[in-house]
Amino acid sequence: MVSDASVHDSKVLDMLLTEEEENQPLYADSAYTGAKQEQAIIDHKMSNQVCGKGYRNHPLTTEQQANNRIKSKTRARVEHVFGFMEQSMRGLYIWSVGLPRATGILGLINLTYNIFRYEQLIRRTA
């Protein structure tokens, strides 16, 4: 799904979600909080794992902060993949014609990340 570049993903969350399996968790940061986003998560039968958000004069409770830490551990692993691709592979812009070529390029990008990650893990255990 492609949206206008000036629109944040959280504003078009309903368009981005797909029903792959019931109770699939959705991990996201606090930008994805709000009534509209909550309804989109419910409509797609997903498990809400969005980090809570504190507001002026209503900070997060200790329990909410602890829940955010747990949720962020999973989300951070995914963010690291995209961070690596952005920093080490000069971004995620794909200059190709056609979806099959773009899909192939993405596959090679993912393979490259997996090789680098494997090397990191081997070096850590050695």
Domain boundaries, the chain: 1-76
Task: Indicate if the pLDDT at residue 20 is higher than 80.
Answer: no
**What pLDDT, on a 0 to 100 scale, did the predictor assign at position 3?**
61
Range 10-38 average pLDDT: 86
Q: Which of 38-42, 63-67, 90-94, 117-121 has the lowest mean pLDDT?
A: 90-94
Average pLDDT score over the chain: 88
Global pTM reads: 0.69
Are 61 and 41 spatial neighbours (Cβ–Cβ below 8 Å)?
no
